[in-house]
């Protein structure tokens, strides 16, 4: 089954498919093209009967640095674009959850914002010991509305989730594994081999039983997403209209600290 994408590189090894976010010059930050492609790739994979296991990773030295600042800037000027963005976001998150195949996130570097959300909705997360993960939406004046407010409390409890979602702090991967946010870390030079070995272990197993177990495990999470995502996405769209968000994007582009005013 051919895969035709501009910002995703899709490769196959036996019955293991690797999807690579491929904007390395931007640390795989998500722009409009990549956002749209993510919204349909997991549905396509789900229909590929030659694939039993999926690996999701990033090209270069990052997994995904979150939203591309220039793209986010265009959404400030055209806020109606959030309607399309929200629809795509719902398809992406539900696509990962409903995809037949187990999806392994391979964090080769930073996973921030939507990048962190993508990773955390995967079934298993392996990370380089040099990687970091966090959801810094608030640092650019946005609500953590793309699924982060659902998945973080589900994984590490409300107390810890509030701390990290309210501050936007990036967590070193070993600490993230220790608190149960991700599964495990390995030395950077061993990451590829460790993920391949785990993917092969699953692919050699009773794959129908594994895939059906995924359906059962994710059933309550799908319900949680259904109850959370509509509100969180609408609040994120609302925060797109604030002065603080414009200031956050300006500061990011100008590589300076933002000066928020609560407006």
Instruction: List Cα–Cα distances, 55 to 65, 70, 111, 122, 142, in angstroms.
Output: 18, 28, 15, 9, 29
The residue with tokens 């400030």 is 76
Residue 106: strand, helix, or coil: strand
Residue 195: strand, helix, or coil: helix
How many CA atoms lie within 13 Å of 69's alpha carbon, on the beta-carbon side?
16
Size of the chain in residues: 263
In order of their start, the domains of the chain are 8-189 (3.90.226.10)
The residue with tokens 């010059």 is 25
d(CA 47, CA 198): 23
Tens of pLDDT, residue by residue, the chain (263 residues): 689 999 999 999 999 999 999 999 999 999 999 999 999 999 999 999 999 999 999 999 999 999 999 999 999 999 999 999 999 999 999 999 999 999 999 999 999 999 999 999 999 999 999 999 999 999 999 999 999 999 999 999 999 999 999 999 999 999 999 999 999 999 999 999 999 999 999 999 999 999 999 999 999 999 999 999 999 999 999 999 999 999 999 999 999 999 999 99
How many CA atoms lie within 13 Å of 12's alpha carbon, on the beta-carbon side?
11
Specify the pLDDT at position 2: 83
The bridge status of strand 132-134 relative to strand 171-172 is antiparallel
Specify the pLDDT at position 114: 98
């Amino acid at each position: 089954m051919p895969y035709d994408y501009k910002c995703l590189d899709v490769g196959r090894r036996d019955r293991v498919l690797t999807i690579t976010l491929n904007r390395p010059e931007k640390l795989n930050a998500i722009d409009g093209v990549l956002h749209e492609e993510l919204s349909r790739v997991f549905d396509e994979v789900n229909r590929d009967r030659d694939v039993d296991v999926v690996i999701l990773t990033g090209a270069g030295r990052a997994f995904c640095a979150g939203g591309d600042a220039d793209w986010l800037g265009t959404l400030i000027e055209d806020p109606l674009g959030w309607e399309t963005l929200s629809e795509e976001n719902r398809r992406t998150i539900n696509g990962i959850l409903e995809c037949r195949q187990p999806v392994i996130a391979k964090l080769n570097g930073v996973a921030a914002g939507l990048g962190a959300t993508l990773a955390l909705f995967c079934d298993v997360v392996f990370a380089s010991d040099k990687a970091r993960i966090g959801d810094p939406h608030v640092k650019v004046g946005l609500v953590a509305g793309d699924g982060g407010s659902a998945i973080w409390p589900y994984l590490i409890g409300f107390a810890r989730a509030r701390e990290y979602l309210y501050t936007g702090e990036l967590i070193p991967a070993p600490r993230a594994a220790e608190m149960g946010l991700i599964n495990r870390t390995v030395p950077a030079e061993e990451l590829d081999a460790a993920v391949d070995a785990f993917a092969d272990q699953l692919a050699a197993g009773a794959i129908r039983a594994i895939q059906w177990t995924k359906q059962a495990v994710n059933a309550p999470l799908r319900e949680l997403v259904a109850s959370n995502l509509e509100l969180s996405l609408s609040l994120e769209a609302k925060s797109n209209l604030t002065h603080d968000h414009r200031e956050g994007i300006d500061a990011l582009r100008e590589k300076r600290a933002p000066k928020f005013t609560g407006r």
